[in-house]
């Protein structure tokens, strides 16, 4: 068998490289690099074109006023609010309710407020909390019935809320909502005409979920860290 000498091998390798070079250059030129900018401003390079269009908004996923307002909160306050959200239940012509609201706003505590105005609201509060006294509040899993300023301050301090407001000047407290909101109109059914009980069964509302009270002798504040 005839073997090539070592002196001929470099020449053959060079010739093969020259033959393959045009094809490799054509392939490299054909491979495009795409630059895309995402909704968050992040730049991405890829050999595939990315779809950066924003997904469509699905009906029913609209953000609540409270969630939208919380976007402007300082990071530390937003962290506390996420761990120990405050929900306040108030009534009309209720001086202690007004005092509780004023304390929360004075300290800059973001909170969700539900107004108990009707019999349906009172029944909903009874079903949720097991009592019907106002004001009523939840701070995380702690239930607070009635208003005593010192007691409320202790609970807020234990949760980590600042003692003075750090809310931005642009922050606006969301308006109170009724606890048992009016259900949307139900399509009339001729077979149920004159039957209020049947019509009532078709009305539903989504009430807030009150966390269970976690008060123990070793944890009188009922706060979970």
- Residue 90's domain is classified under what CATH number? 3.40.30.10
- The answer to whether residue 105 sits within a structural domain is yes
Render pLDDT for 139-164 as a digit per residue (tens, 0 to 9): 999 999 999 999 999 999 999 999 99
- The answer to whether residue 106 sits within a structural domain is yes
First and final CA of the chain: distance in angstroms?
83
- The answer to whether residue 72 sits within a structural domain is yes
Render pLDDT for 62-113 as a digit per residue (tens, 0 to 9): 445 555 567 779 999 999 999 999 999 999 999 999 999 999 999 999 999 9
In this prediction, residues 34-38 reach a mean pLDDT of 63
pLDDT at 170 over 80: yes
In this prediction, residues 181-190 reach a mean pLDDT of 59
pLDDT at 5 over 60: no
Reading phi first (left if > 0) and then psi (alpha if -120 to 50, else beta), residue 90 is in: beta
Average pLDDT of the chain to the nearest whole number = 74
Higher-pLDDT residue of 203, 102: 102
pLDDT at 10 over 60: no
- What per-residue confidence (pLDDT) applies to 141? 92
* Rounded Cα gap, residues 223 and 83, in angstroms: 10
Alpha helices in the chain (DSSP H): 9-30, 65-70, 75-83, 95-107, 119-129, 149-159, 196-201
- The answer to whether residue 204 sits within a structural domain is no
- Number of domains making up the chain: 1
Structural domain containing residue 146: 65-178
């Amino acid at each position: 068998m005839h073997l090539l000498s070592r002196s001929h091998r470099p020449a053959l390798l060079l010739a093969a490289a020259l033959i393959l070079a045009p094809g490799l250059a054509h392939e490299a030129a054909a491979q495009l690099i795409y630059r895309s900018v995402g909704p968050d401003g992040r730049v991405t390079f890829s050999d595939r074109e990315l779809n950066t269009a924003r997904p469509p908004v699905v009906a029913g996923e609209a953000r609540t006023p409270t969630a939208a307002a919380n976007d402007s909160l300082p990071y530390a306050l937003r962290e506390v609010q996420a761990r120990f959200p405050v929900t306040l239940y108030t009534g009309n012509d209720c001086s202690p309710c007004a005092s509780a609201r004023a304390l929360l706003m004075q300290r800059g505590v973001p909170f969700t407020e539900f107004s108990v105005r009707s019999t349906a609201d009172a029944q909903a509060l009874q079903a949720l909390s097991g009592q019907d006294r106002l004001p009523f509040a939840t701070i995380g899993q702690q239930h607070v019935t009635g208003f005593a300023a010192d007691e409320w301050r202790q609970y807020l301090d234990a949760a980590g809320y600042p003692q003075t407001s750090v809310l931005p000047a642009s922050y606006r407290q969301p308006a109170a909502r009724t606890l048992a909101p009016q259900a949307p109109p139900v399509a009339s059914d001729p077979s149920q005409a004159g039957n209020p009980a049947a019509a009532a069964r078709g009305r539903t509302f989504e009430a807030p979920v009150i966390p269970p009270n976690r008060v123990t002798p070793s944890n009188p504040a009922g706060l979970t860290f």
